[in-house]
Structure 1
Amino acid sequence: MYEDYDHLQRAAKDHLWMHFTRHSSYADADVPIIVRGEGAYIYDAQGKRYLDGLAGLFVSQLGHGRTELAEAAAKQAQELAFHPLWSYAHPSAIRLAERIAGYAPGDLNRVFFTSGGGEAVESAWKLAKNYFKLTGRPMKHKVLSRSIAYHGTTQGALSITGLPPLKQQFEPLVPSTFRVPNTNIYRAPLHGDDPEAFGRWAADQIAVAIENEGPDTVAAVFLEPVQNAGGCFPPPPGYFQRVREICDEYDVLLVSDEVICAFGRLGHMFGAERYGYQPDIITCAKGITSGYAPLGAMIASDALMAPFLEEGAMFAHGFTFGGHPVSTAVALKNLEIFEEEKVLEHVRSNEGAFRSTLERLKDLPIVGDVRGDGYFYGIELVKDRETRESFTEEECERLLYGFVSKQLFAEGLYCRADDRGDPVIQLSPPLICDQSHFDEMEQVLRTVLDKAGTLL
């Protein structure tokens, strides 16, 4: 235990405003204080070990304690600790932009660095509006996104987010965003037994929404390859191909929001590559540095850059720490390790085992669905597996927050239990994990969910 543990507890409760946290829950309980990490594990201030089943927050692709990444940061800080990208450049940002452009599909050759994912989403919406104004279509400014989808917490990104409970306390937000159906086939209102037909229907609702708003007013549609909120909704077969056709037909930009899905989470550098579609913009962050420094990016096509290359033109947008020298140096080393250690190949060769291990849990009555791809899965909990009846708000509060979330952590598994949409447990472990880690996750989940079933 840390010598100053009691002091840390008092200071955390008196001064630290934690994110997305019910501080009242710590009135009579200790704040969990994580002090170090090693491989796929994290350790708290009392020395207890936990399997990092969420990779921090979909971030720690290479796991914890990688000295090569720490050394890359230290070396860069000694050479050039900071300089902005406002009319100037520095070598690590240039080299990283070149490398990312090499990985990105098609003509996505222009990399605009940010500090994180929300800023990348903000940048993409601002670029879409600016681009259409410069190219003679000034009314195209509206954005479509999917219901229950999460795209960030800044005013613009929160407007694009499709989770009403997260938005209400901050309204009014930025206007001109509209929702289309997500791809939750487990609860599909139509074509539930025909994934391809369901995917076609879901994609066609984008065309309906564009027609309803007027094609001359819609700038972009923001979609995650695998939708995070709601519990990992993969795309049905043909879904993104149809979305691409619709975007081309109506001159609407397709933004692939890959803040979670990029950099190996789905076994490829980008989720668009896995599912075979060509976006106009990719937004990314998180795994780009494996969490060893904050960094995000908006990757845009050559066509979107073209009007900003005209005499006197400028994208009047930027962030002080976007493309920070230390962060970009760490990202370069991170991607170098990806190639040296064949991380993408490791995910692709193990994802089937991860899925089958989690699917063992389907023998528990409380487990309704196991879904996802790569190293990114959601387990939906249900009251009745036959009818797929979900829990009431009160039951969710008692079961998910009152027991499951706390008990998983107590049993040594850090992951996410959430009810944005339907109640789910999300798993997104470091990409270095193998069968031993999958088994450990399954065993903890089985213990806790078996107990949870008896509480109903």
Structure 2
Amino acid sequence: MTATVTVNQHDRYQVGVRDHLMLHFSQHAKLRDGVEIPVIDRAEGVYVFDTSGRRYLDALSCLFCAQLGYSYGAEFASAATKQLTSMPFNTTWNTAHPAAIELAERLADLAPAGINRAFFTSGGSESVEAAWKMVRQYHLANGEPGRVKAVARRTAYHGVTLGALSFTGIPAFKEQFGPPAVEVGHAPNTNRFRAPDGDDLTAFTARILAETEETILAAGPDTVGMLIAEPLQNAGGCFTAPDGYWPGLRALADKYGILLVADEVITGFGRLGEYFAVSATGTTPDLITIAKGLTSSYAPMGAVMVSDRVAEPFFRAGQTLMHGITFGGHPLSAAIALQNIEIFERDRILDHVRVLTPHLKTRMHALAELPIVGDVRGDGFFFAAELVTGAGNERLGDADRDFLVRQYIPSRFREAGLIARADDRGEPLVQIAPPLVSTQAELDTVVDALHDVLVDAGDKIGLSDGR
């Protein structure tokens, strides 16, 4: 395919961004200084193309959303046309429609046993907030109105709307917005790098579970309503959970009468080779939040998967579920989600991820040989490499950290034709999450480009002589 945008159109779009479009999580002053941003106007396979004609391999799946890449448009358009020409919109407020019902049925089939109902939202933050409101109503209905607090994990990201922001464990995201809507205690995450017992998984797991219990006790066990965690934590850099950790969370939740929520907004729908990554832990949570991969980004949608136990109070006489979202379960989004599941099954997407994960893991872990990389972690099609200053794994200084994460690496990624993430919500790192349809050759292209960028980044801070 050839570019269809002229030079003048490219310039016009840059002016339009600068003068009219508010970008998410962006420093707008750079636009006033003449810094151009990629304006993506088309996509194909695992590649996206900007208005200057540059091609990028999208190794971040457009923020963990584009599970199927960008070549299924015709199939999704057909599903959308069928839905829009029969019944374009209906709510799920005391009515229902076939697409939402059929999607809820399919999700119940895919979810862990005992999780049989879906509450639809428009995205991830909405799903987390809806989960909290259901948790509150559950405890109220069962005569425990004092369960007004929650426990989440340090550095974890659970959304930035004011309710979801309460659970997010990144202080810099929260401080300027005042007291949180929900009182939340933050327990340890599962980062083993630099932990004194990180090489002893049994000891490490026992310790962080004990500290999680201490967080519950400090809050007052009878005041805690929810314990929320991701099966693989995104923020901070792809923290995997050791064996025994999720069963330990389940045991703590049961011990203290707390509902356990698996936040699968990122890990759900194939990122780790499962529809629901928590399934691989042998643990069934009480609620699961999903979004992003539910439609593979071909339409906005999220959901809260609800266990029979949590749903039970809402079927009592006179009980009303006091939460609703206008576009939750939108017929168009539901039809696209159903088509997404059909493609996942037909094209054996989960099997594809499982087959290629060992190769990607081997390639990624080889990056630890670079002097700028201290740790590589992740699973499935989701990995991070933490940046350090050499053999002793010393932390980057503030100046090097700011230069690499906010300036050099993002620019160097674009030069390399790669969309990936440089992040420092915890320690500085680079992160990839390629589309689940990526071939082995495309995964190799991602890692090769990442290797070259990291070598150059090391050179920039004086690590070219090795460890």
TM bin (shorter chain): over 0.9
- 2:457 is the counterpart of 1:452: yes
Name the CA distance, whole Å, in 1 between partners of 2:161 and 2:176.
13
Contact 2:233 2:239 in 1 (8 A): yes
1:196, distance to aligned residue in structure 2 (A) = 2.3
- 2:107 is the counterpart of 1:100: yes
Name the CA distance, whole Å, in 1 between partners of 2:294 and 2:400.
38
**Matching residue of 1:75:** 82
**Matching residue of 2:14:** 9
State how many pairs are aligned. Answer: 454
- 2:239 is the counterpart of 1:271: no
Contact 2:434 2:443 in 1 (8 A): no
**Matching residue of 1:419:** 424
Deviations 1:343-397 (A, max 9, x none): 001101110001111122222110111100111111111112x322111232211
Name the CA distance, whole Å, in 2 between partners of 1:192 and 1:371.
13
SS in 2 for 1:371: strand
1:65, distance to aligned residue in structure 2 (A) = 2.7
**Matching residue of 2:441:** 436
Contact 1:70 1:292 in 2 (8 A): no
Q: Give, as a single letter, the amino acid of the residue that structure 2 aligns with 1:139.
A: G
Contact 1:150 1:163 in 2 (8 A): yes
- 2:414 is the counterpart of 1:409: yes
- 2:290 is the counterpart of 1:295: no
Name the CA distance, whole Å, in 2 between partners of 1:175 and 1:332.
34
Please show how residues 361-376 of structure 1 align to structure 2 within 5 Å.
361-376=367-382
- 2:254 is the counterpart of 1:248: yes
Name the CA distance, whole Å, in 2 between partners of 1:387 and 1:447.
22
Name the CA distance, whole Å, in 2 between partners of 1:65 and 1:172.
44
SS in 2 for 1:426: strand
SS in 2 for 1:319: coil
**Matching residue of 1:229:** 235
Name the CA distance, whole Å, in 2 between partners of 1:265 and 1:392.
33
Name the CA distance, whole Å, in 2 between partners of 1:104 and 1:201.
30
SS in 2 for 1:220: strand
Pick aligned residue for 1:120 from 127, 152, 158: 127
Unaligned ranges ≥5, structure 2: 462-467
SS in 1 for 2:383: strand
Deviations 1:29-87 (A, max 9, x none): 21210011111111111221110100011011111031211221222112111111110
1:171, distance to aligned residue in structure 2 (A) = 1.6
Q: Give, as a single letter, the amino acid of the residue that structure 1 aligns with 2:165.
A: L
- 2:179 is the counterpart of 1:172: yes
Name the CA distance, whole Å, in 2 between partners of 1:12 and 1:111.
37
**Matching residue of 1:205:** 211
SS in 2 for 1:186: coil
1:187, distance to aligned residue in structure 2 (A) = 2.5
Name the CA distance, whole Å, in 2 between partners of 1:392 and 1:158.
28
**Matching residue of 2:92:** 85
Q: Give, as a single letter, the amino acid of the residue that structure 2 aligns with 1:99.
A: R
State the TM-score, normalized to the length of structure 1: 0.98
Deviates more, 1:170-179 or 1:122-131: 170-179
**Matching residue of 1:157:** 164
SS in 1 for 2:221: coil
Q: Give, as a single letter, the amino acid of the residue that structure 2 aligns with 1:444.
A: A
SS in 2 for 1:12: helix
**Matching residue of 2:140:** 133
Please show how residues 40-59 of structure 1 align to structure 2 within 5 Å.
40-59=46-65
SS in 1 for 2:115: coil
Contact 1:266 1:274 in 2 (8 A): no
Contact 2:268 2:290 in 1 (8 A): yes
Contact 1:163 1:420 in 2 (8 A): yes
Name the CA distance, whole Å, in 1 between partners of 2:135 and 2:233.
22
SS in 2 for 1:372: strand
Name the CA distance, whole Å, in 2 between partners of 1:62 and 1:118.
22
Name the CA distance, whole Å, in 2 between partners of 1:175 and 1:369.
34
**Matching residue of 1:148:** 155
State the Cα RMSD in Å.
1.1
Pick aligned residue for 1:260 from 254, 262, 266: 266
**Matching residue of 2:465:** none
Name the CA distance, whole Å, in 2 between partners of 1:173 and 1:208.
21
Q: Give, as a single letter, the amino acid of the residue that structure 1 aligns with 2:245.
A: Y
Name the CA distance, whole Å, in 1 between partners of 2:318 and 2:97.
23
Q: Give, as a single letter, the amino acid of the residue that structure 1 aligns with 2:300.
A: P
Pick aligned residue for 2:190 from 183, 186, 190: 183
Name the CA distance, whole Å, in 1 between partners of 2:442 and 2:213.
43
Deviations 1:259-295 (A, max 9, x none): 0000000000001112221100000000000000000
- 2:317 is the counterpart of 1:314: no
State the TM-score, normalized to the length of structure 2: 0.95
Name the CA distance, whole Å, in 1 between partners of 2:45 and 2:187.
40
- 2:41 is the counterpart of 1:30: no
Name the CA distance, whole Å, in 2 between partners of 1:277 and 1:192.
23
Contact 1:203 1:240 in 2 (8 A): no
Contact 1:110 1:302 in 2 (8 A): yes
1:405, distance to aligned residue in structure 2 (A) = 1.3
Runs of 4 or more above 3 Å deviation: none
Q: Give, as a single letter, the amino acid of the residue that structure 2 aligns with 1:204.
A: A
Deviates more, 1:264-273 or 1:445-454: 445-454
Name the CA distance, whole Å, in 2 between partners of 1:367 and 1:298.
37
Deviates more, 1:442-451 or 1:262-271: 442-451
Pick aligned residue for 2:335 from 324, 329, 333: 329
Name the CA distance, whole Å, in 1 between partners of 2:455 and 2:260.
42
SS in 2 for 1:79: coil
Contact 2:185 2:216 in 1 (8 A): no
Name the CA distance, whole Å, in 1 between partners of 2:317 and 2:405.
57
